[in-house]
Amino acid sequence: MTEGGSNAMWGGRFSAGPDAIMEAINASIGFDRRLSDQDIRGSKAHAAMLAQQGILTQADAEAIRDGLDKVKAEIDAGDFAFSTALEDIHMNVESRLRELIGAAAGRLHTARSRNDQVATDFRLWVRDQCDAALTGIATLQRALVAQAESGADWVMPGFTHLQTAQPVTWGHHMMAYVEMLARDAGRFGDARARMNECPLGAAALAGTSFPIDRSATAAALGFDRPMANSLDAVSDRDFALEFLAASSICALHLSRLAEELVIWSSAQFRFVVLSDRFSTGSSIMPQKKNPDAAELIRAKIGRIVGASMALLVVMKGLPLAYSKDMQEDKEQVFDAADTLMLVLAAMDGMVRDMTANRDALEASASSGFSTATDLADWLVRELGLPFREAHHVTGALVALAEGRGVDLPDLNLADMQGVHPEIRAEVFDVLGVRNSVASRTSYGGTAPARVREQVARWKEALA
Residue pair 47/108 in contact by the 8 Å Cβ criterion? yes
Contact present, 82 and 65 (Cβ < 8 Å): no
Sequence-distant (≥ 6) Cβ neighbours of residue 203 within 8 angstroms: 111, 112, 113, 115, 116, 230
Active-site pick, 15, 95, 161, 279: 161
Catalytic position from the list 95, 230, 282, 364: 282
Burial of 295 (0-12, 13-18, 19+ CB in 10 A): middle
Q: What string of H, E and C letters represents the secondary structure of 110-168? A: CCCCHHHHHHHHHHHHHHHHHHHHHHHHHHHHHHHHHHHHHCCCCEEEEEECCEEEEEE
Q: Looking at this protein, which amino acid is placed at residue 187? A: R
Q: Is 366 a catalytic residue?
A: no
Number of CB atoms found within 10 A of residue 29's CB: 17
CA triplet 355, 463, 148: central angle to 5 degrees?
25
Element (H, E) at 254: helix 238-264
Q: Please, are residues 119 and 89 in contact by the beta-carbon 8 Å criterion?
A: no
- Residues with Cβ < 8 Å from 7, sequence gap 6 or more? 1, 14, 17, 18, 85, 86, 87
Measured between alpha carbons, how far is 173 from 202 in angstroms, rounded to an integer? 49
d(CA 172, CA 448): 8
Handedness of CA 165, 171, 177, 180 (dihedral sign): negative
The reply to whether 275 belongs to the active site is no
- Catalytic site residues? 161, 282
